[in-house]
Structure 1
Amino acid sequence: MNSSNNISKKRYSKLIVFDMDSTLVDAESIDELARAAGVVDKVSVVTEKAMNGDIDYNQALKDRVKLLKGLKLETAQEAMNAMHLMPGAEELVKHVKNLGFKTAMLSGGFTLSTDRVGKLLGIDYVYSNILAVEDGYLTGEVSGPMTGNNSKEVVFEKITKEMGFNTTDCIVVGDGANDICLFKNAGCAIAFNPKPILRQYADEVITKKDLRAIIPIIDSLDLD
């Protein structure tokens, strides 16, 4: 674990927000769907550029989903069910829940995967996108609350407002460029095996592929 030791000495309200792909699960949903559709090389190139912040996230999402047109829904669901949780995911979520945290998962991925992962981990708030289906096949279209460039920021603010406190009172965990808007607004931002662009916004950086490495950071905070 690498630590930047930049966490301010303050009290944190008990909400922790997670990204899903390459954070709570050890895969990228869109790439696994692309693998099932036989277009993984084309999609992976766009995914890498989007996560590094080299191209517009919203457009990248639409472009990648278009390549999935014609994929059988049953095959897509099988690919999503085959994704494994990140090592330590269950232990970390259980730990923060025992501390009284509410948990949220804000993902640019899809309900085909987030519904299962959210249920497995007992996540309180789950937001993701929906792949359009017609006659049992993906149409290549996507909709939902996480399709915009700053959708995570909007939903983050919505959740904290409903809970009665500020985003700056909360903890976030993510890995890519589309998590920057979360990191800028959170009180404690933890980058988990991040893309280089995200490191500059992080209070803590984890380079070990095990979410249990975050537990000591949580335990060091002054919690409400």
Structure 2
Amino acid sequence: MLIATLIAAGRLDDRLLAAALERVPGASFSGWLDEGDAADLAVPDAATARAALEGWQDCDVVVQAPAEREKKLLVADMDSTMIGQECIDELADYAGVKPQVAAITERAMRGELDFAAALAQRVALLAGLDAAIIGRCLAERIRPTPGAETLVSTMRARGAFTLLVSGGFTDFVAPVAAALGFDNFRANVLARDGDWLTGTTTGAIVDSEAKRIALEEARARLGLDAGAVVAIGDGANDLSMVRAAGLGFAFRAKPVLAEAADARLDHHGLDALLWAQGIPRRDWVI
């Protein structure tokens, strides 16, 4: 049997739980993680349970094997995942080109454009922008997704390694990683000419394949198998790393990633990933 973690924070009463069990042939109640919020069900088949419960009554459901349920490596995307914004779109607003940049970002995240080419197009529109605007953008626009800090802090406290990987820029990723408590990060580097952005990047591009490689390198360094890894992202650039993880999540995701992921998190904050790992709220680090 598999574990299906049913999450409906503040709403998971006996009536809703009984209705969920009726929707999945062969399912049974295994126990509460937090009464009223999240419970474990035993289910015979992942596809059937997901089809029956995913999105039903604004619930999130995570179906997995019992082995290695608690993960030892978290690999997370940043923009529209660990934070609620797309940094390049917000920075472009200060340059007066947000509509053009945001349109390219949307197409890239849907997998309609080559990521590296889309990145080059967007960064070129920032040429001549005062680099000091980055700090202003961070302070005024960038906010963590609910549950992000609790997820990272709790996993680290329980011995997991946490890695933030982003197709964005170190100017944003480094401070966000520090604020949320990540162990390490990887991102692109914006080139400068003195105090001004040149409209280019330097070094290798962090694209979908680079994110997968970062996950694999961290996993190998820690001596873990794939089952000990959880990854989460929102767009096409996260496909490879989500597929490489033992448990790959799509967070408020574009269809291309939502269809490929092991689980979707559409209705709750990032701390719901702790319930998915069998960790009750009393053990969260808040």
TM-score by structure 2 length? Answer: 0.73
Matched, 1:170 2:232: no
| From 159, 168, 193, the counterpart of 1:134 | 193
- The one-letter amino acid paired with 1:15 is L
Deviation at 1:167, TM superposition (A): 3.6
DSSP-derived class of the 2:162 partner = strand
| From 148, 164, 179, the counterpart of 1:120 | 179
Q: Which runs of 5+ in 1 are unaligned?
A: none
Structure 2 matches for 1:41-120, cutoff 5 A? 41-82=99-140, 83-120=142-179
Deviation at 1:41, TM superposition (A): 0.5
C-alpha distance 146-104 of structure 1, shift in aligned 2 (>3 A): farther
How many residues matched?
221
| C-alpha distance in structure 1 between counterparts of 2:241 and 2:208, whole Å | 12
- The one-letter amino acid paired with 1:39 is V
Deviation at 1:181, TM superposition (A): 0.2
| C-alpha distance in structure 2 between counterparts of 1:162 and 1:77, whole Å | 33
More contact order relative to length (CA 8 Å, sep ≥ 6): 1
Matched, 1:40 2:98: yes
The answer for the alignment partner of 2:4 in structure 1 is none
| From 187, 198, 204, the counterpart of 2:246 | 187
The answer for the alignment partner of 1:10 in structure 2 is 67
Deviation at 1:137, TM superposition (A): 0.5
Would you say the 8 A contact 1:193–1:209 is kept in 2?
A: no
| 1:59-110 deviation line (CA, Å, top 9, x unaligned) | 1111110111011000122113331111111111122122221100000111
Would you say the 8 A contact 2:167–2:207 is kept in 1?
A: no
Q: Which has the larger radius of gyration?
A: 2
> Which segment is superposed worse, 31-40 or 139-148?
139-148
Deviation at 1:38, TM superposition (A): 0.7
C-alpha distance 81-146 of structure 1, shift in aligned 2 (>3 A): farther
| C-alpha distance in structure 2 between counterparts of 1:203 and 1:180, whole Å | 11
| C-alpha distance in structure 2 between counterparts of 1:147 and 1:155, whole Å | 9
Would you say the 8 A contact 1:107–1:128 is kept in 2?
A: yes
DSSP-derived class of the 1:219 partner = coil
Deviation at 1:29, TM superposition (A): 0.9
| C-alpha distance in structure 1 between counterparts of 2:215 and 2:145, whole Å | 23
- The one-letter amino acid paired with 1:188 is L
TM-score by structure 1 length? Answer: 0.91
Would you say the 8 A contact 1:23–1:86 is kept in 2?
A: yes
Would you say the 8 A contact 1:81–1:113 is kept in 2?
A: no
DSSP-derived class of the 1:93 partner = helix
Would you say the 8 A contact 1:20–1:105 is kept in 2?
A: yes
Q: Percent identity?
A: 35
Would you say the 8 A contact 2:126–2:197 is kept in 1?
A: yes
DSSP-derived class of the 1:55 partner = coil
- The one-letter amino acid paired with 2:135 is Q
Higher strand share: 2
The answer for the alignment partner of 1:208 in structure 2 is 267
| C-alpha distance in structure 2 between counterparts of 1:141 and 1:32, whole Å | 17
| C-alpha distance in structure 2 between counterparts of 1:119 and 1:62, whole Å | 27
| From 122, 139, 143, the counterpart of 2:202 | 143
CA-atom RMSD, angstroms?
Answer: 1.9
Deviation at 1:219, TM superposition (A): 2.0
